[in-house]
Amino acid sequence: MEAKIAWIGAPTPDVENCYGLVFTRVSPDQLQALRDLLLPLTMVAHVGMRLAMELPVTCRLKSAGGPLLTGRTSEVSRGGMSLRLPQTVKPGTVLEVTLHSDNGPLTLEGAVVWAQPPDGDNTDALVDHGLRFTSPTWSVSLALGFLLAGRP
Compute φ and ψ for 100, nearest 5 degrees: -115, 105
How many domains are there within the chain? 1
**pLDDT confidence bin for 71, thresholds 50/70/90:** very high
Q: By residue range, what is the domain housing residue 130?
A: 2-149
Give residue 94's pLDDT: 92
pLDDT score at 45: 40
pLDDT bracket for residue 28 (50, 70, 90): confident
Higher pLDDT, 67 or 71: 71
Using CA atoms in the order 90, 108, 83, 68, what is the torsion angle rounded to 10 degrees? Answer: -70
What pLDDT is recorded for position 50? 66
- The average pLDDT across 120-142 equals 77
- What is the mean predicted confidence (pLDDT) over 76-81? 80
Q: What is the rounded distance in angstroms from the CA atom of residue 62 to the CA atom of residue 94?
A: 6
Q: Does 41 score more than 50 pLDDT? A: no
User: Which tops the pLDDT comparison, 10 or 54?
Assistant: 54
> Could you tell me the CA-to-CA distances from 93 to 46, 75, 87, 136 in Å, in that order?
20, 19, 13, 17
CATH number at 119 reads 2.40.10.220
pLDDT of 126 over the 70 cut: yes
